Copies of this chain bind each other. A is one copy, B any other.
């Protein structure tokens, strides 16, 4: 193990920050250029997982400002991958949902984009994969902490 288990908290912060930043940039650099952008594809993934969702809720989930998510959704709408629906009871809100094309784009393009990460995962043995998978909910809990 190259990182000792009882690292002081400050070191954990630095190591985790750098590792996450590095993985994200690597993921982005491996992205198929004619596919979906990073924020487009995570927004689509969230719509697929959570069903129709408002701009504000998506923004909260992704830790960006509503205006930023609005721009991402506007682009996805222009490409025909999401559609807006009126909220049944609140006239201010707009629900966004995947279109058929959105579902297909999500499957096809994201398969291409994720080829590299799949291959990289193959470089971990079964125990390491299990360890990594069990760390995912912890990363999510960190992201969602107050």
Contact = CB atoms under 8 A, between A and B. Distances in A.
User: Size range of the interface on A?
Assistant: 35 or more
Contacts of A124: 138, 141-142
| Interface SS majority for chain A | helix
A140 B19 contact: yes
A23 interface: yes
Contacts of A5: 130, 133-134
B132 A117 contact: no
Contact of A20 (B24, B116, B121, B122): B24
B17 A20 contact: no
Contacts of A111: 10
**In the A-B complex, the 9 residue pairs with the closest CB atoms:** A135-B135, A120-B145, A25-B63, A26-B63, A22-B143, A19-B139, A23-B143, A13-B114, A120-B142
